[in-house]
Amino acid sequence: MKRVYVLITGRVQGVGFRYSLYIKALQFGIKGWVKNKDDDKVEAVFEGEQDKINHILEFCKKGPFLVNISNIKIKEEQYNGEEKFRILR
C-alpha cells in the first residue's frame, strides 16, 4: 500500500475538480481526501495499491472538462490507513 500527497495548480477550483477526484477515488478504491486551498490550489492525499494510485495521478495530470492543470507536485508519504475518501472544506 502506498500514500501520496498531491498539490495541483491551475484552474482547479470552481470547476468540479474535487468532486471528480472523489468519484475517481471511489471507482479505484482509493482512500484519503481532497480540499481547496486558500491560494486557489487543490491538495489531496491518496492511499491505495500502487497501480490504482498511478491511475488517479494520471487523472490528476489532465483533469476533467473545464479543468486546466498548470503544475502538479507529488510527494510520497508514510502509509497512514485512511478509512475512506472525503472531500474536505
pTM over 0.85: yes
Q: 29-56 pLDDT, tens per residue?
A: 999 999 999 999 999 999 999 999 999 9
pLDDT range class, residue 63, cuts 50, 70, 90: confident
Inform me whether the pLDDT recorded for 64 exceeds 90: no
68 included as an active-site residue: no
CA 43 to chain CA mean position, Å: 7
- Which of the residues 11, 36, 54, 86 is marked catalytic? 36
36 is catalytic: yes
Class assignment of domain 2-80?
A: alpha beta
Is 80 within 8 Å of 3 (Cβ atoms)?
Answer: yes
83: how many CB neighbours lie within 10 A of its CB?
A: 9
pLDDT tens digits for range 3-31: 999 999 999 999 999 999 999 999 999 99
Query: What does the pLDDT look like over 72-88, one tens digit per residue?
Result: 999 999 999 999 999 99
Among 18, 54, 71, 86, which one carries the catalytic annotation?
18
Using CA atoms, how far apart are residues 86 and 68, in angstroms rounded to an integer?
A: 22
